[in-house]
Structure 1
Amino acid sequence: MPYCVEPRQATTSLQIPRLLALSTVVAGVVAAFPQAGWAMDLRQAYEAAQANDAQVRAARAGADATRERLPQAKAQLRPNVAVNMGRNYNDLTTTGRGLLGSPVTTQTHYYSSNQSLSVRQPIYRPYQQAQVRQAQAQVEDADATLERDEQNLVVRVGESYFDALLAEDQLALILAQKTTYSTQLDAARKGFAAGTGTRTDIDEAQARLDMTVAQELEARQNMEFTRHRLEVLTGQSMDVLARLDVQRFQASAPVPGAVEAWMERAEAHSPELRSLRAQLEAARLEVDKARAGHLPTLDAVAQWSRTNSDNVTSVNTRYDNKTIGLQLSIPLYAGGQISSTVRQSLAAQERAQEMLEATRRDLGVRVHREFRGVTEGVLRIQALEQAVRSAEQAVQSNRRSFEAGVRTTIDVLNAEQQKTLALRDLAQARYLYLVSQLRLQSLAGADRVSTVELANGWLQAAAPHPTPASD
């Protein structure tokens, strides 16, 4: 059965077969385990995951790398100052003809040197100016992407945390059910020996007990897996998780109560949309950069140079040269490369625009789905709480009827099983409500700490206890 209120793609391993949950009755079984170690709540798990999760650390490093594009782009519009210096030893051999036509060879040895200081200040560089604005958009994209990954971490931690709680609840309920079936089997055997029962009662109780034993093995494996997954996410081992305070827990409808308001909030604050809007702006500026290939550039240039013995005719002579002026460069023809680059950039801009629109529509669907998960979760929890009370009353009635000889063992076992299913569905609905709430807040770009504290407020620092030992 998917961990949702309507058919949709699976997103968490809470989607496991035969989900069994803890209720007020089973809480007594859990609390009865020996106490040791310390408890971790959702807030502590999130803080540990923030420091340990490799995906978030990689996103932070990626954002830091992208932020460096802005100072690099701005540097292209600042003065460029360069100093060049050189000193050479020259050995010049000259062969010629003397006055009488005889060959004459002379050798000249001298040092030459040069020093130059040049300053170039861009005045009109449309390509670099567009590059600065593009770098700003890319930084906004990196910041929004990091925020999106941070929001996803809230959901991943919440799903893993409640998944681990559900696995513990499943095992605790199965152990309680196992005890009930064992007691029922023993009573059936005694009744059969006393002549008041039937062999069918024994076989039915034995079959239910055997099935519970198989479910216990599966539940233990699942609890170990979910606990390990949470430990990998947080980078910490833990003895026990803070449990949901079912006595204090009160599901309430989201505020604001209109799904349209949540959609507007998501469109305005969703980090996913902010990232795509920044990508669209960067794509638009890429078009400006491509078109700048047709435009001229203008720089202010100043240079001071000094040369000593620059050539053989100027040995022991020094020249000082100072220049200042403007340098204009006008592109004329580049073989069609610039026009092709413009067309390519326009296509990339259209792609970014369509991706933004597609994501905006999909975000509306996801917000609507999680909004329904919260609002319908409130009603479902209320209905299942009533179902649990009715199932408990049915169990008591069947037991009294069995003692009076009106009902059979099978009737009692069926009532017990129906109660177990009601308890399972109730706990599942509570966890679904909390996870849907985390997802809804994340999609709307809410403050991460506030989102975690909202869910963490329903938890209690349960008395620490180790994993229950196998019977």
Structure 2
Amino acid sequence: MRFPRLKRGLLAQAIGMGLLVHGGSASALGLMQAYEAALKNDSVYRAAFYTREAGKENRILGRAGLLPSLSASYSGSKAKSEIITAGNQRDQEYISRSSNVSLRQSLINFDALARYKQGVLQSEYSESVFLSETQQVALRVVGAYVEVLFKQDQLALAKSERDAYLERVKVNDRMFSKGEGTRTDMLETRARLDVAEAAVLEAEDNLTATRLSLQAVVGADVVMGELEPLTQTFQRPPEDARTLKDWQRMLTENNHEVRSRQLGVDISQQEVNRQRAGHMPRLDAIASYSKSDSDTINTINQSSTTRSIGFQLTVPLYSGGAVSASVRQAVASREKARADLQTEIDKAMLELSRDYESLTSSVKKIEALIKAVDSGKLLVQATEQSIKGGVRINLDLLDAQRQLSQTQRDLAQARYTYILSHLKLRAAAGTLSTSDIREMSAYFR
């Protein structure tokens, strides 16, 4: 039966699979390179960036209502008049000129004050939304990156399993031709081979789909096998020692989505104040300087200069109920914003708990699966030896090989789950930054 030859064949396939799954290249696309490319090319991130740039101007727009306004005007015209006195008509032509400079400064203006506070909050809101999207693009990149690697792992394992069945088919054929095997063994192996072939085709399709998803995020072509693979070593970062309550406290203090919702409530409150200002008086200081030349027919060839300074008080009395209706509408919008805030907090807390449990469980799962892979390899070797002694049959070896492949796949998935859960926790805490992506990129070489 030449089992040593079979073992050498399987060992060569395993080495080949390892090179495919974990072998990097000089031109490999690292996680940090993918993240930096996404910051340049991801359309969602670019939209958030320009939204923030536009939102910054709300602070200045709101402040403008509290600052003085200065205006100037100039007019000139040529006039022709017909003057009739006691039946006598006299024509008069003259050039009329007028110039004016006026200054207005609000002294009491509750509407402008509310607009200013609202503008400041809107600028902070746009910044918070941008920070949230910065974290989301990091999660999208890492998620798409590890998804491609996982699909590559699945494809490599599927090919390895298929190749093992191909080798087993050859062994069964030789054994059957020598009268040492059975037709049942041949049929069992060929049936498993057909299933493995289908699994390879499905894995190739899945890898292509995930590769296209990563290309959409980074804005560049991703060649099969050029990503830096995940290292075999596993270390638990010190941040994982934090308890769930620690993460929850960080979430309430720093989470950008929650912060955005809270700013939405504050903006809505200033909108209430602005609408209520419709019932409040307004006091402005006014200064003007004007100069006119032949301003009217009675001042032909006369020039005048006028300087004035004073104040203007405006007291609203009645506007058909529009102000009261606007206040009620603004109050309703504020209450909705408060409800949205609580919804966001509940949602964030729920996702945080899930990610925390996923993180802690994935650590234990990785440790268990590493042992399971080692045990699976020993089982395959022991089964081969048992077949030699006539204790086990061909089907037992096929089952052992399949179980080992599934365990290797589960181990890879557990590693990727750990990385994503760790980054999601930091995003929920509002502390995910480029340094965290750089730290995680050390797991890919």
Local SS of the residue matching 1:58 = helix
Q: Which residue of 1 aligns with 2:363?
A: 378
Local SS of the residue matching 2:240 = coil
User: Which deviates the most, 222-231 or 54-63?
Assistant: 222-231
Query: How many residues are matched?
Result: 431
Does 2:440 align with 1:455? Answer: yes
Q: Which residue of 2 aligns with 1:41?
A: 30
Shift of residue 108 of structure 1? Answer: 1.5
Match of 2:265 among 280, 303, 317: 280
Q: Which residue of 2 aligns with 1:83?
A: 72
Q: Which residue of 2 aligns with 1:53?
A: 42
Local SS of the residue matching 2:258 = helix
Shift of residue 29 of structure 1? Answer: 2.3
Q: Which residue of 2 aligns with 1:257?
A: 242
Please say if residues 256 and 262 of structure 1, whose CA atoms lie closer than 8 Å, have aligned partners that are also in contact.
Answer: no
Match of 2:179 among 195, 206, 218: 195
Q: Quick one: distance in 2 between partners of 1:32 and 1:120? A: 74
Q: Which residue of 1 aligns with 2:200?
A: 216
Shift of residue 105 of structure 1? Answer: 3.3
Match of 2:307 among 312, 315, 322: 322
Q: Which residue of 2 aligns with 1:68?
A: 57
Kindly report which structure 2 residues correspond to 1:160-309, keeping only aligned pairs within 5 A, or say none. 160-239=144-223, 240-246=226-232, 248-251=233-236, 254-309=239-294
Please say if residues 24 and 229 of structure 2, whose CA atoms lie closer than 8 Å, have aligned partners that are also in contact.
Answer: no
**What are structure 1's unaligned runs of at least 5 residues?**
1-23, 99-103, 461-471
Please say if residues 168 and 223 of structure 1, whose CA atoms lie closer than 8 Å, have aligned partners that are also in contact.
Answer: yes
Please say if residues 423 and 432 of structure 2, whose CA atoms lie closer than 8 Å, have aligned partners that are also in contact.
Answer: no
Shift of residue 27 of structure 1? Answer: 6.1
Shift in CA distance, 253/194, structure 1 to aligned 2, threshold 3 Å: farther
**What are structure 2's unaligned runs of at least 5 residues?**
1-11
Q: Quick one: distance in 2 between partners of 1:295 and 1:257? A: 52
Q: Quick one: distance in 1 between partners of 2:239 and 2:358? A: 10
Q: Quick one: distance in 1 between partners of 2:13 and 2:322? A: 75
Report sequence identity in percent: 31
Q: Quick one: distance in 2 between partners of 1:226 and 1:411? A: 34
The amino acid of 2:443's aligned partner reads: W
Q: Deviations over 1:70-129 (max 9, x none)?
A: 11111111111111101100112345643xxxxx43322111110111111111111101
Q: Quick one: distance in 2 between partners of 1:136 and 1:74? A: 9
Shift of residue 345 of structure 1? Answer: 0.9
Shift of residue 447 of structure 1? Answer: 3.6
User: Which deviates the most, 330-339 or 85-94?
Assistant: 85-94
Shift in CA distance, 27/106, structure 1 to aligned 2, threshold 3 Å: farther
Shift of residue 252 of structure 1? Answer: 5.6
Q: Quick one: distance in 1 between partners of 2:283 and 2:15? A: 78
The amino acid of 2:68's aligned partner reads: P
Local SS of the residue matching 1:244 = coil
Please say if residues 69 and 135 of structure 1, whose CA atoms lie closer than 8 Å, have aligned partners that are also in contact.
Answer: yes
Q: Which residue of 2 aligns with 1:125?
A: 109
Local SS of the residue matching 1:321 = strand
Does 2:318 align with 1:333? Answer: yes
Q: Quick one: distance in 1 between partners of 2:327 and 2:211? A: 54
Q: Quick one: distance in 1 between partners of 2:339 and 2:408? A: 46
Please say if residues 38 and 238 of structure 1, whose CA atoms lie closer than 8 Å, have aligned partners that are also in contact.
Answer: no
TM-score (norm 1): 0.88
Q: Which residue of 1 aligns with 2:134?
A: 150
Q: Which residue of 1 aligns with 2:6?
A: none
Local SS of the residue matching 2:234 = coil
Shift of residue 318 of structure 1? Answer: 1.3
Q: Quick one: distance in 2 between partners of 1:254 and 1:321? A: 73
Local SS of the residue matching 1:77 = coil
Shift of residue 238 of structure 1? Answer: 4.0
The amino acid of 2:17's aligned partner reads: V
Q: Which residue of 2 aligns with 1:467?
A: none
User: Which deviates the most, 275-284 or 398-407?
Assistant: 398-407
Q: Which residue of 1 aligns with 2:374?
A: 389
